[in-house]
Amino acid sequence: GEKVEQHESTLSVREGDSAVINCTYTDTASSYFPWYKQEAGKSLHFVIDIRSNVDRKQSQRLTVLLDKKAKRFSLHITATQPEDSAIYFCAAHQGGRALIFGTGTTVSVSP
């Protein structure tokens, strides 16, 4: 089955800098790659996603890149703010199946 590896377990950035989180997956049939954010003591909140028919998607300060050849995708956060501090999870799946999550990256944005 699908396995998702999330490479950075922690990421500390200064406010205003950029943050990048990288994930790799194993199943070439995976076609959907969402990102979720979990704030302390809270549940998962959907952030952004990308489908395999594109290699880039941007939403305000967030950009997701997908490299299907390398089976790699990444989340780029620009102009980070303290409220971006959270655990970010990448995930992957094929249509009709459940999401498989990465292990999470704790992002800390300091003033």
Partner 1 sequence: GALVYQYPRRTICKSGTSMRMECQAVGFQATSVAWYRQSPQKTFELIALSTVNSAIKYEQNFTQEKFPISHPNLSFSSMTVLNAYLEDRGLYLCGARTGGARAETLYFGSGTRLTVL
From 87, 90, 107, 109, residue interacting with partner 1 (rule: CB under 8 A): 87
From 13, 20, 44, 62, residue interacting with partner 1 (rule: CB under 8 A): 44
Q: Does 99 bind partner 1 (CB under 8 A)?
A: yes
- The answer to whether 55 and 68 are in contact (CB under 8 A) is yes
> Which of helix, strand or coil describes residue 82?
helix
From 8, 22, 49, 52, residue interacting with partner 1 (rule: CB under 8 A): 49
Type of residue found at 10: T
Tell me the C-alpha distance between 32 and 55, whole Å: 12
Tell me the C-alpha distance between 90 and 23, whole Å: 7
Q: Footprint of partner 1 on this chain (CB under 8 A)?
A: 32, 34, 36, 42-46, 49, 51, 87, 89, 93, 95-101, 103-104
